[in-house]
């Protein structure tokens, strides 16, 4: 049984316009890095799994699905940031389908973990509209597939620099998916991902947001993971962990200003993998979201792949050198979560 599986497809390169931040060169840089690495054998570019309309409808409205499908082979502007070219709809259907394929492989026990190298990304896509470079919400669709296969508790961890508003919306009233998101405060979408956004109804207490200040850096991210996320994950005991792995919090990324390093992303991946080994037998899948400096995107992704492919237990580096502002923010997030859970109980 292969330990790890990396899925992507050449059709994902057929989406996008030149000079747009989310362009094909992002994925090309990653694929080149993998081809030149010891992990070349883990990469499968041959899987042509397309998401079905039924699978899409578990997250998106039929009106929206029909609209996107009607634009197959055409060029269009879906919003001020999100564009279709002739290959975009096929790429979006493939991206969502590859995420589902990884979920099916891990639920069947064929793999321990995996990385879906997808574009267009997905975590901003809402029920009825595209947003922020995203057409279909790949990770939310994959989570729904996992639920349909019998899983009862899924964790989605989102460390993209932007708030995963579409994913949050998908499960805001659903206790079967615990959505945890750390992001740059008030970046995009503005006024989204606030501390007080903690879920509703049955989902109260199953959304957790940590809006971090500019230039937070590695230590803040690792402290937040250890002090805030880890205890709640241990309590929740998910059966599968899905990671919205955006790398636009990198210090060299043009769209964020969070000062995270490639080694910082490695440490986050190590923590996520160690947590998966503790709560769900190591079942963890990464989904590519943002990251707009191709060189450092590829470098960061390779750090994560190295962590996933290793059969050894991660050796974590403690890093709690944070100021009072971060500690207070983490405490406020804990209080918001506890208050929300109290309302639900």
What b/e sequence results for 278-307 when a residue is b if at least 16 CB atoms lie within 10 Å of its CB, and e otherwise?
ebbebbbbbbbbbbbbbebbbbbbbbbbeb
Distance of CA 293 to the CA centre of its chain: 18
250 is catalytic: no
Residues 167 and 181: their CA atoms lie apart, in Å, by 10
Pick from 210, 212, 218, 229: which is nearest to 267 by CA? 218
**Residue in 60, 124, 162, 337 annotated catalytic:** 124
Q: Are 35 and 145 in contact (CB under 8 A)?
A: no
Structure tokens, 102: 């990884």
Give SS3 for 194: coil
List, in order, residues 6 or more apart from 256 with CB less than 8 Å away: 161, 162, 184, 187, 248, 249, 250
Phi, psi (degrees; rounded to nearest 5) at 69: -65, -30
Q: Are 254 and 214 in contact (CB under 8 A)?
A: no
Residues 118 and 68: their CA atoms lie apart, in Å, by 18
Residues 157 and 280: their CA atoms lie apart, in Å, by 15
Separate counts of helices (H) and strands (E) for the chain: 11, 10
Structure tokens, 328: 């207070």
Q: Are 163 and 193 in contact (CB under 8 A)?
A: yes
List, in order, residues 6 or more apart from 139 with CB less than 8 Å away: 99, 122, 123, 156, 164, 167, 242, 244, 287
Give SS3 for 125: coil
Active site members: 124
């Amino acid at each position: 049984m292969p330990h790890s599986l990396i899925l992507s497809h050449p059709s994902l390169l057929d989406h996008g316009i030149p000079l747009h931040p989310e362009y094909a060169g992002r994925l090309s840089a990653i694929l080149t890095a993998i081809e030149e690495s010891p992990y070349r054998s883990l990469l499968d570019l041959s899987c042509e799994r397309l998401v079905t309309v039924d699978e899409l409808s578990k997250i998106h409205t039929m009106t929206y699905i029909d609209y996107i499908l009607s634009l197959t082979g055409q060029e269009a502007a879906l919003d001020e940031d999100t564009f279709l070219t002739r290959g975009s709809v096929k790429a979006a259907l493939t991206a969502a389908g590859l995420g589902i394929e990884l979920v099916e492989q891990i639920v069947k026990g064929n793999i321990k973990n995996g990385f879906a190298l997808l574009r267009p990304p997905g975590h901003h896509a809402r029920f009825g509209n595209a947003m922020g470079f995203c057409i279909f919400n790949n990770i939310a669709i994959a989570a729904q597939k996992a639920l349909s296969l019998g899983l009862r508790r899924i964790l989605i961890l989102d460390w993209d620099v932007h708030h995963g508003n579409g994913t949050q919306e998908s499960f805001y009233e659903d206790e079967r998916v615990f959505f945890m998101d750390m992001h740059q405060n008030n970046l995009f979408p503005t006024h989204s991902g606030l501390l007080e956004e903690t879920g509703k109804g049955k989902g109260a207490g199953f959304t957790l947001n940590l809006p971090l200040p500019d230039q937070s850096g590695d230590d803040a991210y690792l402290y937040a993971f250890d002090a805030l996320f880890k205890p709640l994950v241990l309590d929740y005991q998910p059966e599968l962990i899905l990671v919205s792995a955006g790398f636009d919090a990198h210090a060299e990324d043009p769209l964020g200003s969070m000062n995270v390093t490639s080694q910082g992303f490695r440490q986050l991946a190590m923590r996520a993998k160690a947590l998966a080994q503790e709560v769900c037998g190591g079942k963890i899948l990464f989904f590519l979201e943002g990251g707009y400096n191709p060189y450092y995107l590829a470098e960061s992704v390779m750090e994560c792949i190295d962590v996933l492919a290793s059969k050894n237990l991660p050796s974590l580096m403690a890093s709690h050198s944070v100021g009072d502002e971060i500690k207070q923010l983490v405490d406020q997030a804990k209080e918001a979560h506890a208050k929300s859970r109290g309302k639900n109980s």
